[in-house]
Amino acid sequence: MSEQPELSPADWVRDQTQQILATGTTDSVGIDGMKVVLYTTTGAKSGKKRYVPLMRVEENGKYAMVASKGGSPENPAWYYNVKAHPQVTVQDGDVVTTKTARELTGDEREHWWKLAAAAFPPYAEYQRNTDRQIPVFVVE
């Protein structure tokens, strides 16, 4: 499938993605000085490619995808896409790689959660604001 991935319906997410695509690098976008990476996922039902910019949480060439949705009671739509189709592309700066995501549990999740909260401190507040445990994927 070579069609152009779909942009988010959320204005601010779409704006971030369009800026990354226009400049060719994620270095052009950040939130409060913190970096993002751009993932491309595959729709669980539609099979369509979709762009998902998320906070940059990286360790030794692996990345974390944190399904926070700002602490909402439900998971973001992309969570279900990644569960159904774990192969994703990751753009970090101007480098694009294809990797596989898997949802974490136990000590491994705790390790990546700490990295995520250090990279983007609002994650801790998001977790306090919801009854669900925010899912974390490692992308490797």
131 by DSSP, 3-state: which?
coil
**What secondary structure does DSSP assign to 2-32, as a single string?**
-SPPBPPSSHHHHHHHHHHHHHTSGGG-EET
Q: What would the pLDDT profile of 9-30 be if each residue is shown by its tens digit?
A: 888 888 999 999 999 999 988 8
pLDDT (mean) for 26-55: 92
Q: Does position 136 have pLDDT exceeding 70, yes or no?
A: yes
Question: If pLDDT is split at 50, 70 and 90, which confidence band does 1 have?
Answer: very low
For 11-139, the fitting CATH number among 3.30.450.20, 3.40.50.300, 3.20.20.70, 2.30.110.10 is: 2.30.110.10
Q: What would the pLDDT profile of 54-71 be if each residue is shown by its tens digit?
A: 999 999 999 999 999 999
